[in-house]
């Protein structure tokens, strides 16, 4: 995943989650939804956006890496 200098809004992240939900493990999709119900800082929104970005196009290996990062993200 490449770095990005854009700040992604809560709405951007929610839309990205909606787009990628069919490809995510259901438990991770639910964790994302729950996480986005509360106000989040900009760094976390950006990180989550990029974990979700093009998830559907990622290889199985890349998806597993992202899944692990998502699990870690929700347990910080």
Residue pair 48/73 in contact by the 8 Å Cβ criterion: yes
Please check the confidence at residue 37 and state whether its pLDDT lies above 90. yes
Q: What is the mean predicted confidence (pLDDT) over 4-25?
A: 94
Q: Which pTM value belongs to this model?
A: 0.89
Domain ranges of the chain: 10-74
Centroid of chain to Cα 52: 4
pLDDT digits (tens, 9 = 90+) for 38-70: 878 999 999 999 999 999 999 999 999 999 999
- Asked if the model's pLDDT at residue 5 lies above 90, the reply is no
How far apart CA 48 and CA 63 sit, in angstroms, is 14
d(CA 57, CA 52): 10
Q: Show the DSSP H helices in 1-76 as ranges.
A: 10-20, 26-35, 42-52, 60-74
What's the confidence (pLDDT) of residue 39?
74
Share of the chain above pLDDT 90, in %: 83
């Amino acid at each position: 995943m490449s770095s990005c200098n854009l700040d992604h809004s809560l709405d951007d992240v929610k839309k990205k989650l909606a787009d990628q939900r069919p490809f995510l493990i259901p438990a991770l999709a639910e964790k994302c939804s729950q996480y986005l119900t509360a106000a989040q800082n900009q760094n976390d929104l950006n990180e989550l956006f990029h974990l979700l970005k093009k998830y559907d196009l990622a290889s199985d290996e890349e998806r597993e890496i992202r899944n692990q990062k998502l699990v870690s993200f929700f347990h910080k």
